[in-house]
Amino acid sequence: MRSALLFSAALAALALGAAAPAAAQQAGAQIDRFTYDDLIMVNRLSDPQVSPDGATVIYSVRATDLPNNRGVSSLYAQPVAGESEPRRLAISDGGANTARWAPDGKLYFLSGRSGSSQVWVSADQGASAAQVTDLPVDVQTYRLSPAGDRLAVALAVHPDCADLACSVAKTEAEAASKSTGQVYDRVFVRHWDTWADGTQNHLFVAPIGADGRAGEAVWVTKGFDGDTPSKPFGDENDFTFTPDGQGIVFSARVAGKTEPWSTNFDLFRTDLSGSGQFANLTDANDAWDAGPVFSPDGRTLAYRAMARPGFEADRYVVTLMDVATGRTRQIATEWDRSADSLQWSPDGRTVYVTAGDVGQTRLFGIDVRSGNVVPMTGPGHVGAFDLTPTGFVFSRDALDSPAELWFKTYRGREMPRQITRANPQLADEIFGEAEQFTFAGWNGETVHGYVIKPAGLAPGEKAPVAFLIHGGPQGSFGNGWSYRWNPQSYAGAGYAVVMIDFHGSTGYGQAFTDSISQHWGDRPLEDLQKGWAHALSTYDFLDGDRACALGASYGGYMVNWIAGNWNEPWKCLVNHDGVFDTRAMGYETEELWFTEWENGGPVFENPEGYERFNPVHHVDKWRVPMLVVQGDLDFRIPTSQGLATFNALQRRGIESRLLVFPDENHWVLKSANSLQWHQTVFGWLDQHLKAE
């Protein structure tokens, strides 16, 4: 533990970067502030994959092509030792993503260069490529077998078809039909941002021949009623080959007619024959089982398991299953954090996971025998990692830094070493000083928050404040980088930022996370009020008379809630995709398990639970100008919620503005739309907080 604490202390200065702005101000240097224009052009590093010999890491970098309103991804190779500059792989020219190493050192990846997304391979370290699959539908994701002689691919197919040819013909016939009506007899009717089209995600396995091309693909999940990978965000972590390469274990939920209110994901095992036989390995647990990973010796299957059915934000506990007997045991059960991104150590003695931890997201090592948990990284947010023979490569971002790759040996005392610099253009940017603080919130319990001082703020000067409220609500505004709600873009525009991780936030223990359910409007509001008061009394650069509250999703709900229950401090409000009517939301949203857990059951069984903290009942007290933002493809919090909010404001005669994106979902993803979003939001803030 001492070595971990030393590491944390040494990395703290890097994470919060307070020295550079102060030095620049003292020297009277020109301040080059980070702005939302800079944010949109930041290169996005992700997906580190270490070669079998541990010498090279391949990673993806997404650059912004603003004139063409798109992102452009490339693959880069970087020696883990860091003795030379990164090399952009030539295979990127035709489009390349999801690079994965084979045991023999060949590099597989996905590319659409043939007209559809297929698996390709490079045998010369990314200089050239050959096509591996030639399937009639897009490959969504894939996984190589342990020996590298088979390929599992995920395809969207019609489950009632006998084969791929039938599925393709059915899709083409539906596209050619002159009628456009869709008939449904079960939900999901739509999910996240797409309407159901009758297809499901299924797995196919093909051998890789001596010529490097995939042979005939066998539909190994045929007859299973469900999606694997799961929609909308599943990937190859939802499935894996058995150690002998003769079977597949996958995580999935049986759809049936209960899918929108079920979180019962189980682990299923099937052979490669397409027999339609599926052994449920975790049938005893009716909650979420995810992320199957076999130990290096193949004797143990590790996965992450929740305990409470219907609750998507329950704690994931690392669970080990004996492959021979099926017996399970959980490890680190007293560790009050939710495990994610599980990997085994090469010797099989440790599992490594990431987890939110008091405003950070760290990498932890868990001893599989004792359950002892050791933090491996310090401040900041670890987004992904991969293991080498001597240590691990991990991506780390923070409030003052987008993701970069670092290397750290398994020896605890060794400090990490940065091995990439994907955004050299930010070297001269000055970021706002960030500080984490605590105060006594609801029930007298400790609550954490962050304050960020605007870059270049003169001593004694006060700054207007952006009070940012995170979504989820089981989420966190901690020490991490965001490409949407980025507090440094506010600090660069001259705004101080205050963010509170209110009760319900993640990374502070499961009881803290649980406390928001059925309490959306009281406990978090009390934390926000007390956090705001604490920040004002502690940081003299905050101008409490010039402040705006902003939030998205649950944060947007809270903006609507405080509009009628705590509107005194605010000169303006910004609500992005926020809930206006919790009762209507209980019927309109797609993932019903969420609203039913958060409000104590379905609307028709517990209407009072939906009305207790319903913003619609407090519109008569609204008075503060509000900007409403809505994505028309947002099926999580549908457009009707945003329109109702705007109609209420207009009918009340309150200054208001509505920004609608017809081509965006719950998030704003397109570059030009992001630019418009920031221009509109910052224009709203300037109008109400900076106008003379």
Active site residues per annotation: 553, 634, 666
CA distances to 361, 422, 453, 496, 536 from 462, in Å: 32, 34, 10, 9, 11
Report helix, strand or coil for 280.
Answer: strand
Report helix, strand or coil for 100.
Answer: strand
What's the DSSP call for residue 621?
G
What's the DSSP call for residue 145?
-
Peptide bond into 188 cis (omega under 30): yes
CA distances to 285, 475, 527, 606 from 545, in Å: 52, 28, 20, 40
Token reading at 253: 């939920």
Provide the pairing of β-strand 542-552 with 496-501.
unpaired
Report helix, strand or coil for 126.
Answer: coil
Q: Which residues of 467-493 are buried (b: 16+ CB within 10 A; e: fewer)?
A: bbbbbbbbbbbbbbbbbebbbbbbbbb
Spell out the residues 6+ positions from residue 536 whose beta carbon is closer than 8 angstroms to its own: 542, 544
Beta-ladder partners of 396:
382, 404
Spell out the residues 6+ positions from residue 516 whose beta carbon is closer than 8 angstroms to its own: 473, 474, 502, 503, 504, 523, 524, 598
3-state secondary structure 230-257: CCCCCCHHHEEECCCCCEEEEEECCCCC
Give CA torsion, residues 647, 651, 655, 660, to 10 deg: 10
Instruction: Please provide the distance, in angstroms rounded to a whole number, between the alpha carbons at the two ends of the chain.
Output: 54
Which amino acid, 59?
A: Y
